[in-house]
Amino acid sequence: MTKNAPTIMWFRDDLRLADNPALSDAAATGPVICLYVHDPAFPSGGAERWWLHGALAALDQDLQARGGRLCIMAGPTQPCVLWLAQQVGAGAVVWNRRYGGPARQVDADIKTALRTMGLQARSHPGNMLHEPWQVRTRQGTSFRVYTPWWRAVQAMGPPPPPVPVPATLAFAPIAPHIAERLETPAGLDLLPARPDWAQGLRETWQPGERAAHERLDHFLSERLAGYARLRDLPGQPATSGLSPHLRFGHVSPRQIWHAVMARGAPDADGTCFLGEVGWRDFAHATLFDCPDMATRSLRPEYDAMPWRTDPVGLRAWQQGRTGYPIVDAGMRELWHTGWMHNRVRMIVASFLTKHLLLDWRAGERWFADTLVDADAASNAFNWQWVAGCGLDAAPYFRIFNPVLQGEKFDPAGDYVRRWVPEIAHLDGKTIHAPWKMATGAPRGYPPCIVDLAGGRARALDAWKNAVKA
C-alpha cells in the first residue's frame, strides 16, 4: 500500500455523513473516494427506488458542498468495487455492516477478494444500537421474545455516542476514464415513467440527511409529548415519520437514542418511542439469525397453513376496495404516500391473513413494492408477527375486527374521511360500517368482499388444523 493511497468509503444503507463510523475511519486515513453501487442482484420496490433517487442526489450534494462527489456505479457489486479499487490505487475499502444473509455473503466475498489483492477491508457497526451478536441470552443463544431482549439491551447501557461529520474530509481526485464509467441518480432509471404514480410521494417526503434531522427535531419538540397516548390514532399527527430515513440511513438509531436522552431521563413518551426503535433492532437481529425470514415462517409449525388463492380478493385489498373503511383508508394512504400508519398496518395485515386467509408473503411483497420504508428486516418480521407465525407473535386467534378497530382508534372517522372520499360525508357513528345505514353504503363505495364472522371462523379452523398438523 502506497503512502497517501485513497480509501474507498462504500456507502450502502447508511446515506449520511454524520455518525458514519466507516466514513470517519476513511477520513482518518487519508484522501477518500465515496462509492455507491447499484446492484441488480438486490432488487427494490418502486417506492424504494423513488426514495433512493432522492437519497443519492442529496448525499452527492452534501459531498459536493465539501469538495467531493458520490461515485455511483451500476452492476454486480464485487466487480465494481474491485475495479474501482484497482483504478484509483486504493489502500483500503471500508463500510458499515449489513445483516441480511445475501448482503453479508457479498460483504464477506469482497473482504476476501480485497485482502487477496493486498488491500485492507474494514467493516464497522453503524446501523443498529448494538450488534446482533452482542445481545444474547445467558446461554449464548438469540432471543425469541422481544421484552427480555429489550431488557437485556437496556441493561447494556447506552449505545456509543454518535460521531459528528469528520472535521477533515479530503477527497481523492477522480480520473477522467473513471468518471466515464460513473452514473448519476438519473442514469439509474429509478423514477417512474408513465404513469407517474409518485406525486403523492413528492408531496409527502424529502429524502436526505438534512430532512431526516429536521423531522427528528420537529418530532422531539412538537410530537413526543403525548406520543404514548396518541401514537395508535392514525387521524392524529403523532408519529415521527422517521422510518424511511432509518431505512436509508439518513439518521442512525444511535443519533435518535441520544437525541431523546439529551432531553433528560425519558418519560413515558420517550420510553415508548425508544421501544419502537428497539423493535426495529429486534427485527434486524432476527434477520441476522434467520436470513430467510421473508420466505419461511419463523415458527415452522405454521408452514402447513392452507392459504387460499384469491387474486380478486388480493387485488381488492391492494387497491383499497374491500368495503371495510379503515382497511381501504390504509391501503390508499400506502399507495399515495408510500407509507402507512403503524396501527393501520396491523389492521390491514390481519385482514389479509385472517379474514381473507391469504398468505402473509403476498402482503409482504406488496408492502416491499409500495413502502418507502420497506426495510428487509422490519417488513417480513412485522408481517409474520401479525400473521401469528413469527417470533413473539400475536396469537393466531387474535384477529383484528376492522370495524371495532376503526371505531376505537379513529373514533371521529378523520383518518377514513381523508382517504376514502366516497364516504367522507358520513358521521363518526356510521363511517366505519356504512352498509348498516338504512340506505346502504353510499354509491361508489364497494361492497364488503368478505363476511367478517365467516372469515374469522374460517381462519380459526385453518390455524387450529395447521397447529395440529
Domain of 45, CATH number, reads 3.40.50.620
User: CA nearest 246: which of 464, 51, 34?
Assistant: 51
Contact at 8 Å (CB) between 372 and 211?
no
Candidate list 131, 183, 197, 276, residue with the active-site label: 276
Candidate list 10, 150, 205, 360, residue with the active-site label: 360
Mean pLDDT of the chain: 95
Candidate list 150, 279, 317, 419, residue with the active-site label: 279
Instruction: Provide the phi-psi class of 118: left if phi over 0, else alpha when psi is between -120 and 50, else beta.
Output: left
Number of structural domains the chain divides into:
3
Find cell 415452522 and name the residue: 300
Boundary of a domain, candidates 243, 269, 289: 289
Boundary of a domain, candidates 240, 262, 289: 289
Whether residue 1 is predicted with pLDDT greater than 60 in this model: the reply is no
pTM of the model: 0.96
Boundary of a domain, candidates 257, 289, 321: 289
Segment 135-149 mean pLDDT:
95
3-state secondary structure of 403: helix
Residues 10 and 144 in one domain: no
| Annotation marks residue 360 as catalytic | yes
Residues 267 and 396 in one domain: no
| Annotation marks residue 364 as catalytic | no
Contact at 8 Å (CB) between 379 and 362?
no
| pLDDT range class, residue 335, cuts 50, 70, 90 | very high
Whether residue 397 is predicted with pLDDT greater than 90 in this model: the reply is no
Residues 99 and 235 in one domain: no
Residues 322 and 422 in one domain: yes
**Strands lying side by side in the sheet with 92-96:** 70-74, 32-38, 7-11, 92-96, 120-124
pLDDT tens for residues 153-203? 999 999 999 999 999 999 999 999 999 999 999 999 999 988 899 999 999
**Residue 114: per-residue pLDDT:** 98
pLDDT tens for residues 32-42? 999 999 999 99
436: its cell numbers:
348498516
**Structural domain for 281, as ranges:** 128-161+209-289
Find cell 444473509 and name the residue: 101
Candidate list 51, 205, 317, 383, residue with the active-site label: 383
* Distance from C-alpha of 278 to C-alpha of 286, rounded to nearest angstrom: 12
**Residue 3: per-residue pLDDT:** 67
Confirm whether 451 is domain-assigned.
yes
| pLDDT range class, residue 301, cuts 50, 70, 90 | confident
Which residues make beta-bridge pairs with 59? none
Confirm whether 70 is domain-assigned.
yes
3-state secondary structure of 280: helix
Residues 322 and 442 in one domain: yes
Confirm whether 24 is domain-assigned.
yes
Candidate list 342, 407, 422, 435, residue with the active-site label: 342
| Annotation marks residue 383 as catalytic | yes
Confirm whether 183 is domain-assigned.
no
Domain of 329, CATH number, reads 1.10.579.10
pLDDT tens for residues 50-71? 999 999 999 999 999 999 999 9
**Residue 371: per-residue pLDDT:** 98
Confirm whether 173 is domain-assigned.
no
| Annotation marks residue 276 as catalytic | yes
* Distance from C-alpha of 173 to C-alpha of 68, rounded to nearest angstrom: 8
Segment 116-134 mean pLDDT:
96
Confirm whether 169 is domain-assigned.
no
Whether residue 393 is predicted with pLDDT greater than 80 in this model: the reply is no
pLDDT tens for residues 429-465? 899 999 988 788 888 999 999 999 999 999 999 988 8
* Distance from C-alpha of 331 to C-alpha of 325, rounded to nearest angstrom: 10
93: its cell numbers:
475499502
| Annotation marks residue 279 as catalytic | yes
Segment 320-330 mean pLDDT:
98
